[in-house]
Amino acid sequence: MEKSITLLGATGSIGKQTLDAVRNCLPDIKVEVLTGFSNINALAPLVDEFRPKKVWVPDSTSKINLEHLIKHRCEILIGDDALNSCAVNNDSSIVVNALVGKAGLKPTLAAINAGKNIALANKETLVTAGSLVMGLAREKGVKIIPIDSEHSAILQCLNGSKPEDVEKIILTASGGPFRTWDKNMIKKARAGDALKHPNWSMGSKITIDSATLMNKGLELIEAMWLFNKTVDEIDIVVHPQSIIHSMVQYIDGSVIAQLGMPDMRLPILYAIEEAGRVSTKFPRLDFLNCGSLSFESPDEDRFPCLVLAKYAAKTGGTLPAVMNYINEWAVGEYLKGKLDFYDISRLISQAFDTYTVKPVTSVLDIVEAEAWADEFCNAV
C-alpha cells in the first residue's frame, strides 16, 4: 500500500522540516492533508507544491486569505472539530503531529481512535495525558513513533532488545544557550539571548524550553510513557556537542548510543517510515573532525525548571498538565518581554504550592486542570 501522510502543523519548524524530508527523500509519498495556523503566507506555497486534498486553517478569515493565494483547488476546513477530522482522514496511512503546545492532544486521540499510526513531535500530548494516549494506542494496536531526536535515538538503541534487559535510559541535553552563564547573567537574559540555541534550529517555544531545561523535563515525562520507565530509570546528562542524541544502558553494563549530525529530518524520516531506514544525501558525521565529546551534570540550581518537571513526573496525575499549561503561557509572556527568565520557574513553583492534584481518568480531567492553570495565569 502506498504511504500517505496527514501533516498537522505544516508551517512550524518540524512541519517545514517534515516536508523538506519528504521533498528530498520520499518523493512517492502523498501528502493528503496539511494544516496551518496563523502563517497563511507560508502555508499557501506548500499547498500548491504538495497538492493535498484537504487543508485546515483556524477561521474563515484565514480561509478567504488562503483561497486568494493558492492555485491548487482543495477542500479548506476551519474550526477545532475539523482539525480533529483531519487527523482521522481515511486516505492517510500515518499522521505526523507537529502541532505546538496543548493543541496537539485531541487530534492525537482522534487519530488513534481511527487506527492511525502517529509520528509524534508534539511532546505536550504525552506530558499531559500519557496514560490516556498510550493506553488507547495499546487498545487500538496503534504505533506512537517519536520524532524528538532524543526519543528517536532511544527507540533505535532499543531495537531488538528485551525490556527486562534495559537498566536505564540516558537522555542527552545540549545545555542550551545559557549553559556557561552564571545565575546573575541568566537573570538578566532577554528572549533574544535565549533564542540563540548553539546547535539546533527550532521554533521559538521549544528553544526557550531548551534554555530553561524545561524541554528536558518534558522529554523525561515523554520517555516514561513511551518506554514504560520510572523517573529513577531515566538519567539526564548535558552533552554540549549534540552528537550523541541519547543512550540506553543494559543490565550487563554495556551502553548503546545513537549518534549523528544534529538534523531533525533524520528522526522525522525514521518516524514516517515507522522505524525504518531511508537513503539520504544529508551531511554525514565525520569522526575525525567532530572534536571531543564531553558530558556534565545539569545544574539544577541555575535551571530550576528541570527540578519542577522531575517533581511533576514523580507526582503524576494532573500536575504535569498544570505545569505544561503555565509553562506555555509564561514562555509566551517571556517572548513578549513581559516576564523575566526566572519568572517562568517561579510561577510554576507557586502553582505547585496551591494546586490539588487529581488522577487522570479522561480528557475532562486534563481540561479541568488546564482551566485551573488558566485562572492562575490570569491572576498573575
Tell me what the pLDDT averaged over the chain comes to.
94
What pLDDT does 1 receive?
A: 53
Q: Are 71 and 48 in contact (CB under 8 A)?
A: yes
Angle between helices 265-272 and 13-25 (to 10 degrees): 70
Partners of 332 in beta bridges? none
Q: Where do the structural domains in the chain lie, given as residue ranges? A: 4-146, 151-314
Of 172, 251, 254, 169, which is closest to residue 216 (Cα–Cα)?
172
Q: How confident is the model at residue 206 (pLDDT cuts 50, 70, 90)?
A: confident
Rounded distance, CA 103 to CA 219, Å? 18
What pLDDT does 201 receive?
A: 63
- List, for residues 66-98, the tens digit of each pLDDT value: 999 999 999 999 988 999 999 998 889 999 999
What pLDDT does 3 receive?
A: 86
**Beta carbons within 8 Å of 280's beta carbon, 6+ residues apart:** 24, 25, 265, 266, 269
Rounded distance, CA 380 to CA 376, Å? 7
What pLDDT does 204 receive?
A: 86
Q: Which class does domain 4-146 fall in?
A: alpha beta
The three-class DSSP label of residue 366 is helix
H/E segment holding residue 96: strand 94-97
| Phi/psi of residue 372, nearest 5 degrees | -60, -45
Rounded distance, CA 308 to CA 116, Å? 33
H/E segment holding residue 57: strand 54-57
CA-to-CA separations, 155 to 96, 145, 292, 352, 363, in angstroms, rounded: 17, 8, 25, 32, 27
Rounded distance, CA 14 to CA 281, Å? 19
The three-class DSSP label of residue 117 is strand
Q: Are 173 and 235 in contact (CB under 8 A)?
A: no
Of 320, 276, 306, which is closest to residue 156 (Cα–Cα)?
276
Of 174, 92, 146, 354, which is closest to residue 266 (Cα–Cα)?
146
- List, for residues 268-312, the tens digit of each pLDDT value: 999 999 888 999 999 999 999 988 999 999 999 999 999 999 999
